[in-house]
């Protein structure tokens, strides 16, 4: 076994690998850029080596610097994590030339599966179902149009070396192909150094299912069940779960056997994932097709670990060291259900615009959620390596995989992920409920985040029913996200909470000399307006009325605190009774009230003493300025292309400009017919958020 390994990655995956290596008694080495000098993974590692400036192209993507660090520090092996150099054959070859072990698959398998065109040919030869499409190089846009017409719309255009949602465009007609083909080529070149594109049929009502495979250097390969990854936005996964609510045992076996056959055909070992697309319209469940094979660890690997008890990182390290897999296919089972949500620095209330900056406040869910960094394989079955430490009848647990800390920064140079929230429970419903409660407990301030949106998904009736497709988000929020719908019961609770907060703040203000003249309004004397309705909050000994019944409300609140935990109890004298419900609520003081955020939505609660509440109806609201004639950059980015000139007439939906941000190209379109007046930015310019690109007349 290795005594020291280097981790050629950053953030949460670097922290994740360090935890397992430490448990195995292996020393770890981190490499870091300028932007990550104070990052948690650097502090966690036993040793750290600086490798360059903040841009990944000058640090984490420079193989020579990482290899030099490994040699300098005496690392025997390198774990690449995912992204960056994890699927670069040249990197694995360079490590081998220096006698350093690559903790991943063989070079031949990386090369075969990394080329989306060649991988489809190999999959077909191995007997794997393949999506109909054009497997070959496409000359230009005209050629792409002809191919798309022959396949039949809709089609998907993909960069051959792509991944992570980059270099992909869906085309419903010839116009879409002409507009998107060059963008796909550019994204492929900029992100992966390869501008080749292939086109395939887009499966209607598709579900995205992937099979986790694991092999050793002795020819043993198993599949560790499936993950459902259908909930995506712009082809980027948002929610993952294991097992899938759609896959049947027969389907699982058929998928798994085909994926193992493909892995064997390329001599695969280590962890890998075969991605499949399944027609949700096929009740038989037999219409599944090969998409691609990712020859690395996946972001969503924790849900597989949760239901199988297998530490995939540990097994990757052991396989790289030459050990055999300690279990066979028959030893792999399914224990309970696991769901993972990706907490991103993006603002769903503003069209999911990337949000970078400092984490002024960062506190993940507390240990009360049965938090577990990893369910280790310390308690083993006869098939060594499979954990039996989970109680199938237990309450479940929450696992946080993150690589940030309070006061740290989410940089524009890297992926905007803040954390991965993983829950496990005996059933899918319980795992989803744990997600909702844990999401409420996240405390993130200083930048936008998608916690509300994730909570809304977990509560959504369609998600709860398991009726998922890759179009779920676009279909359920076609006009954008504005918060989860709140039930009347929740609004009654929030009105009561607002009254309690107002009483606490009034008491504090009265104690500060000169801030209040006379007594503060007595409990019960608050009029709370929330969701457009006025409620008189009766706060006699902290009792409120919910669904027409009195309940006791308990919360801990220090004036000025921005988070409260609320518990509702039956209105009786039983001091040992369990709460009926609990809520984690973010509190933001507002003028004459509070913004209360919980259960996936923000709620504005205006709180006034009843004697002056009638005046609220006459308070004037400031109207926002009209920005409809301005094309504003929605996120920090690079102006890649201007599609119009001054004086040009444009129609609704016509492309005006293309902005690249986080390695993704975003086409900004005209919202209405107009004439281009003044252009304020030139192609190649770096734009700030809300910077005016052009003006319309």
The pLDDT value recorded for residue 538 is 54
The whole-angstrom separation of Cα 130 and Cα 203 is: 12
The whole-angstrom separation of Cα 162 and Cα 188 is: 6
Mean pLDDT per 10-residue run, the chain (697 residues)? 97 96 97 96 97 95 97 97 95 97 97 86 90 81 93 88 76 92 87 84 88 98 97 93 96 95 97 91 69 95 96 98 97 96 94 88 75 39 38 70 93 91 96 95 93 98 95 93 92 89 78 57 70 67 70 78 86 74 90 92 87 51 62 86 93 88 80 90 88 91
CATH classification of the domain holding 684? 2.40.50.100
Catalytic residue numbers, as ranges:
292
Helices 174-192, 141-151: crossing angle, 10 deg rounding: 120
Q: Is residue 120 part of a domain?
A: no
Domain shared by 218 and 188, yes or no: no
Q: Is residue 549 part of a domain?
A: yes
Q: Is residue 608 part of a domain?
A: yes
Q: Would you say 240 and 227 are in contact if contact means Cβ atoms under 8 Å apart?
A: yes
Q: Is residue 513 part of a domain?
A: yes
Domain shared by 651 and 571, yes or no: no
DSSP H helical segments within 78-227, as ranges? 89-97, 107-114, 116-125, 141-151, 174-192
The pLDDT value recorded for residue 512 is 66
CATH classification of the domain holding 458? 3.30.470.20
- Cβ within 8 Å of residue 527, ≥6 positions away: 534, 535, 536, 537, 607, 608, 609, 610, 613, 616
- Cβ within 8 Å of residue 642, ≥6 positions away: 656, 657, 679, 681, 682, 683, 693, 694
Domain shared by 645 and 663, yes or no: yes
The pLDDT value recorded for residue 380 is 31
521-549 pLDDT per residue, tens: 555 567 888 887 777 665 554 567 777 78
The whole-angstrom separation of Cα 634 and Cα 693 is: 10
Measured CA to CA in angstroms, residue 534 lies from 492, 610, 616, 632 at distances of 11, 10, 11, 37
Domain shared by 250 and 330, yes or no: yes
Q: Which residues of 648-664 are buried (b: 16+ CB within 10 A; e: fewer)?
A: eebeeeeebbbbbbbbb
Domain shared by 528 and 548, yes or no: yes
The token pair at 184 is: 């796909």
The last residue of a domain, from among 171, 201, 231: 201
Dihedrals phi, psi of 321, to nearest 5 degrees: -80, 0
Domain shared by 570 and 670, yes or no: no
CATH classification of the domain holding 73? 3.40.50.20
Classify strands 674-679 and 601-609 as parallel, antiparallel or unpaired.
unpaired
CATH classification of the domain holding 544? 3.30.700.30
Domain shared by 34 and 178, yes or no: no
The last residue of a domain, from among 618, 641, 661: 618
Query: What 3-state DSSP class applies to 5?
Result: strand
Element at 287 (helix H, strand E) = none
The whole-angstrom separation of Cα 432 and Cα 600 is: 13
Dihedrals phi, psi of 143, to nearest 5 degrees: -65, -40
- Cβ within 8 Å of residue 237, ≥6 positions away: 165, 208, 229, 231, 299, 300, 342
Domain shared by 363 and 506, yes or no: no
Q: How many domains does the chain have?
A: 5
Q: Is residue 623 part of a domain?
A: no
238-282 pLDDT per residue, tens: 999 999 999 999 999 999 999 999 999 999 999 999 999 998 655
Long-range contacts of 549-556 (CB under 8 A, 24+ apart): 551/580, 553/493, 553/496, 553/497, 553/500, 554/579, 555/497, 555/500
Domain shared by 216 and 145, yes or no: no
Dihedrals phi, psi of 399, to nearest 5 degrees: -120, 135
Measured CA to CA in angstroms, residue 281 lies from 153, 210, 394, 468, 469 at distances of 18, 18, 35, 11, 10
First-to-final CA distance of the chain: 69
DSSP symbol at 210: E
Q: Is residue 116 part of a domain?
A: no
The pLDDT value recorded for residue 522 is 52
Beta strands per DSSP E along 309-416: 337-344, 346-347, 353-354, 357-358, 361-363, 397-402, 409-410
Q: Is residue 85 part of a domain?
A: yes
The last residue of a domain, from among 168, 183, 201: 201
The pLDDT value recorded for residue 513 is 52
The whole-angstrom separation of Cα 10 and Cα 415 is: 10
Distance of CA 355 to the CA centre of its chain: 14
The whole-angstrom separation of Cα 501 and Cα 498 is: 5
Domain shared by 181 and 247, yes or no: no
Q: Which residues pair with 419 in a beta bridge?
A: 343, 402
Burial of 427 (0-12, 13-18, 19+ CB in 10 A): exposed
The whole-angstrom separation of Cα 559 and Cα 503 is: 10
- Cβ within 8 Å of residue 640, ≥6 positions away: 186, 658, 659, 660, 665, 683
What residues make up the domain containing 684? 630-696
Q: Is residue 170 part of a domain?
A: yes
The dihedral sign for the CA sequence 254, 257, 263, 265: negative
Domain shared by 341 and 288, yes or no: yes
Domain shared by 502 and 583, yes or no: yes
């Amino acid at each position: 076994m290795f005594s020291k390994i280097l981790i050629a990655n950053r953030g949460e995956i670097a922290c994740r690998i360090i935890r397992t290596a430490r448990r195995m008694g292996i020393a770890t080495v981190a490499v870091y850029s300028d932007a990550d000098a104070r990052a948690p993974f650097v502090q966690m590692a036993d040793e750290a080596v600086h490798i360059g400036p903040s841009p990944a192209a000058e640090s984490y993507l420079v193989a020579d610097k990482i290899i030099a660090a490994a040699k300098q520090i005496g690392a025997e092996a390198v774990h690449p994590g995912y992204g960056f150099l994890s699927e670069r054959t040249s990197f694995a070859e360079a490590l081998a030339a220096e006698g350093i072990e690559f903790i991943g698959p063989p070079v031949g398998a990386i090369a075969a599966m990394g080329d989306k065109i060649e991988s489809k040919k190999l999959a077909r030869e191995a007997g794997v179902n393949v999506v109909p499409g054009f497997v070959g190089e496409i000359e230009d846009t005209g050629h792409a149009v002809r191919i798309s017409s022959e396949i039949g719309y809709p089609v998907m255009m993909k960069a051959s070396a792509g991944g992570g949602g980059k270099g992909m465009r869906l085309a419903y007609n010839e116009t879409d192909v002409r507009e998107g083909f060059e963008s796909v080529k550019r994204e492929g070149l900029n992100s992966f150094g390869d501008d080749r594109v292939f086109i395939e049929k887009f499966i209607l009502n598709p579900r995205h299912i992937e099979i986790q495979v694991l092999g050793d250097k002795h020819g043993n390969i198993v599949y560790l069940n499936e993950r459902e990854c259908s909930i995506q936005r712009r082809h980027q996964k948002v929610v993952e779960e294991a097992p899938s609510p759609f896959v049947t045992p027969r389907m699982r076996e058929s998928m798994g056997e085909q994926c193992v056959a493909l892995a064997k055909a390329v001599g695969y070992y280590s962890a890998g994932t075969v991605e499949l697309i399944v027609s949700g319209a096929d009740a038989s469940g037999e219409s599944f097709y090969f998409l691609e094979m990712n020859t690395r660890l996946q972001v969503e690997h924790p849900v597989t670990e949760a239901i199988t008890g297998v530490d995939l990182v540990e097994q990757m390290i052991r396989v790289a060291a030459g050990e055999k897999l300690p279990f066979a296919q028959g030893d792999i089972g399914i224990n309970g259900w696991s769901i993972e949500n990706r907490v991103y620095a993006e603002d769903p209330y503003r069209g999911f615009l990337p949000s970078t900056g400092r984490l002024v406040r960062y506190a993940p869910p507390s240990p009360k959620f049965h938090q577990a960094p990893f369910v280790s394989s310390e308690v083993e079955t006869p098939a060594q390596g499979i954990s039996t430490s989970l109680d199938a009848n237990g309450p479940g647990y929450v696992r946080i995989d993150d690589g940030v800390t309070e006061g740290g920064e989410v940089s524009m140079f890297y992926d905007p992920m803040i954390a991965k929230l993983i829950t496990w429970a005996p059933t899918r419903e319980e795992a989803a409920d744990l997600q909702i409660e844990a999401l409420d407990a996240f405390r993130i301030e200083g930048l936008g985040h998608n916690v509300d949106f994730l909570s809304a998904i977990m509560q959504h009736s369609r998600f709860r029913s398991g009726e998922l497709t890759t179009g779920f988000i676009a279909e359920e929020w076609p006009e954008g996200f504005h918060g989860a719908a709140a039930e009347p019961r929740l609004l009654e609770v929030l009105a009561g909470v607002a009254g309690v907060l107002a009483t606490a703040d009034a008491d504090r203000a009265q104690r500060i000399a000169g801030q209040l003249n006379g007594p503060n309004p007595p409990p019960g004397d608050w009029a709370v307006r929330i969701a457009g309705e006025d409620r008189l909050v009766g706060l006699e000994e902290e009792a409120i009325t919910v669904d027409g019944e009195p309940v006791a409300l308990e919360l801990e609140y220090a004036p000025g605190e921005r988070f409260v935990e609320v518990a509702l109890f039956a209105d009786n004298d039983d001091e040992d009774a369990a709460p009926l419900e609990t809520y984690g609520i973010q509190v933001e003081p507002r003028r004459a009230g509070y913004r209360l955020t919980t259960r996936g939505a923000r709620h504005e609660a205006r709180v006034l003493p009843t004697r002056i509440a009638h005046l609220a109806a006459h308070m004037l609201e400031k109207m926002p300025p009209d920005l409809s004639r301005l094309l504003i950059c929605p996120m920090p980015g690079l102006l890649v292309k201007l599609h119009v000139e001054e004086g040009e007439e444009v129609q609704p939906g016509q492309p005006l400009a293309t902005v690249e941000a986080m390695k993704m190209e975003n086409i900004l379109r005209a919202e209405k017919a107009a004439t281009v007046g003044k252009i304020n930015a030139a192609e190649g310019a770096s734009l700030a958020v809300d910077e005016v690109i052009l003006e319309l007349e």
